[in-house]
Amino acid sequence: MAEFGRQRGKRQEDGGLGSVLDLLLANARLVLGVTGAAVLAIATLAVKRLIDRATSPRDEGDPKAEQKTLEESWQDLTLIKATSKPPKKQRREDLSEPLLSPARPPVPGEALMPRVCSAPLETPRVESAPPRCLTLQEKLLSHYSSRLAVPEVQVSLAPQLARSICAQLQNFLRSKCPELPFGSLFLSGPLLDGLEALTADHIHLMLPVVLDTMLWSLIPGEDTVVRNPQYWMIKRTDLEYFPRGCSPWDRFIVGQYLSSNALNETLHKMLVASINWPAIGSLLGSVIHPVVASQELKLEVKHDQVELSIILFPVVEMEDKVLLAAPPEGLVENLWLQSFYRAEVSKVKELDAGDSGARQHCLRILNGVCKSHPALHKLSGSPLTHVVLHLSATSSDWAEESLADRFQQVLEELVGYLEKGVLPSYFNHKINLFCELSEDEIDEMGFMLYRAISEPELLLKEK
């Protein structure tokens, strides 16, 4: 009776344990998948068998039964060890083989050798090197080569188109106005002098106005009504001995002064109404039209590979001065603007030739940055060149390796000039190149450049 109670209790325990194991195995397939559930089932079976043998009565003194029990225990432990290791991923060619091979029971009397499982060789992990931080020098050179350099086709095609238009305009003026002693038209601008950046989108046509120095004289800007040393007036002299009509340019006199505005108006009418630009454009494989609503003498040229703006400037050269017919906005129409462009380019190239400097390279980058930035575009051109020339008087190291240092130093100099609101001309310290900027424009430029001193990369970002 006692034996029956023990067996019944054992069956109840087995039944309860079996229910738990069945529930565990049923859920294991959902959680672990087929392979994981199989491994768990084998491990569970091995544990269950060990428990059964531990709770079942032993046959004391039976050596065969003890040997059988020992063999079964080794087999169960082998199963447990096998399941305790993570399943090894099979290669594609091994998928037909079973995931686990049954463990061979040890032969009685055979020495047990520990099973050595060779761990799979791990592929050495190659760590990618962190991205190298570029220096400012490298960023400037990369920015110039990738964004600022003018395409070669534009560098060659734009001047070629401008020269062809220049020749056509020269022929027209000689046939239409033979009495006016215009000199030979010539091209000018940063593109021709190697200081251009971004695009070859504008070229200047210089139209020399040849004056008789016996009949004309220059009046300095300080002595004019505008009190601006950057502008000059050209006065007709000796009218009592050489009355009006003695000079072919007397038709453009306003109050004894050669009027730049009157000359521009005459030329503007010719450009708009008298020249057959469609015919000239068809010969050059392009479309040319004058800009009517403009104070400048401007032509727009569209070609398949380039779009170009050509601005015509009447120019007077007297007493080592170069004066452009570009009067300021307002009522004063007799003023001529003194241009230093030719002297600027000549001086920069002279300095670079003397010390193998990179001033021109620095200017190309600066001009490209300022032209592409809405707040800084008015600094491009002459103001930047004069800052570089001023800086050259105090900083002698303009080698290519020092480009980043000089670039940042130019920014610092610009901020200093903007704080004062004065940028003196390198060739005439009486001239303030910031005189036509408003206070708001100066503040905006100064704020932007002040930030760029500590973080120059701000100027190199895409706009």
pLDDT at res. 92: 41
What's the one-letter identity of residue 96? Answer: S
**What is the SS3 assignment for 141?**
helix
* Spatial distance between the Cα atoms of 318 and 211, rounded to a whole number of angstroms: 8
For Cα atoms 153, 157, 159, give the angle at the middle one, nearest 5 degrees: 130
Match domain 152-338 to its CATH number in 3.40.47.10, 3.50.50.100, 3.90.640.10, 3.30.460.90. Answer: 3.30.460.90
Question: What long-range pairs does 101-105 form, CB within 8 A, spacing at least 24?
Answer: 103/75, 103/78, 103/79, 105/71, 105/74, 105/75
Give me the architecture of the 342-460 domain, per CATH.
Answer: Orthogonal Bundle (1.10)
233-266 b/e (C-beta count within 10 Å ≥ 16 → b) = bbbbeeeeeeeeeebebeebbeeebbbbbbbbee
pTM of the model: 0.69
pLDDT at res. 49: 63
pLDDT at res. 47: 58
What's the one-letter identity of residue 343? Answer: A
Give domain limits for the chain.
152-338, 342-460
Residues 6+ apart with CB under 8 A from 399: 355, 356, 357, 358
**What is the SS3 assignment for 23?**
helix
What are the backbone dihedrals phi and psi of residue 234, each rounded to the nearest 5 degrees, phi first?
-115, 110
pLDDT at res. 215: 96
Question: What long-range pairs does 266-275 form, CB within 8 A, spacing at least 24?
Answer: 267/207, 267/297, 267/312, 267/314, 268/297, 270/172, 270/173, 270/176, 271/297, 271/299, 271/312, 274/172, 274/176, 275/168, 275/169, 275/172
Contact 356, 446 (CB under 8 A): no
pLDDT at res. 97: 45
**Residue 3 is inside which H or E element, if any?**
helix 2-55
What's the one-letter identity of residue 457? Answer: E
CB atoms near residue 34 (< 10 Å): 10
Cα-Cα-Cα-Cα dihedral sign, residues 58, 62, 67, 72: negative
| Whether the domain at 152-338 and the domain at 342-460 fall into the same CATH topology | no
pLDDT tens digits in sequence order for the chain, 463 residues long: 444 344 444 444 455 555 655 655 555 555 455 556 555 656 666 556 656 665 555 554 554 454 445 445 445 444 444 444 444 444 444 434 444 444 455 445 444 454 544 555 555 555 555 555 678 778 877 766 677 777 888 889 999 999 999 999 999 999 999 999 999 999 999 888 888 766 778 899 999 999 999 999 999 988 888 888 999 999 999 999 999 999 999 999 998 999 999 999 999 999 999 999 999 999 999 999 999 988 899 999 999 999 999 999 999 999 999 999 998 877 678 899 999 999 999 999 999 999 999 999 999 989 888 988 888 999 989 999 999 999 999 988 999 899 989 999 999 999 999 999 999 999 999 999 999 899 999 999 999 999 988 888 788 775 5
Q: Is 164 exposed, middle or buried (0-12, 13-18, 19+ CB in 10 A)?
A: middle
DSSP character for 363? H
Quick one: which of 256, 278, 276, 253 has its CA closest to 266? 253
Quick one: which of 237, 223, 234, 238 has its CA closest to 259? 234
* Spatial distance between the Cα atoms of 25 and 37, rounded to a whole number of angstroms: 7
* Spatial distance between the Cα atoms of 292 and 270, rounded to a whole number of angstroms: 11
CA 267 → CA 165, 245, 264, 273, 308, distances in Å? 15, 20, 5, 10, 20
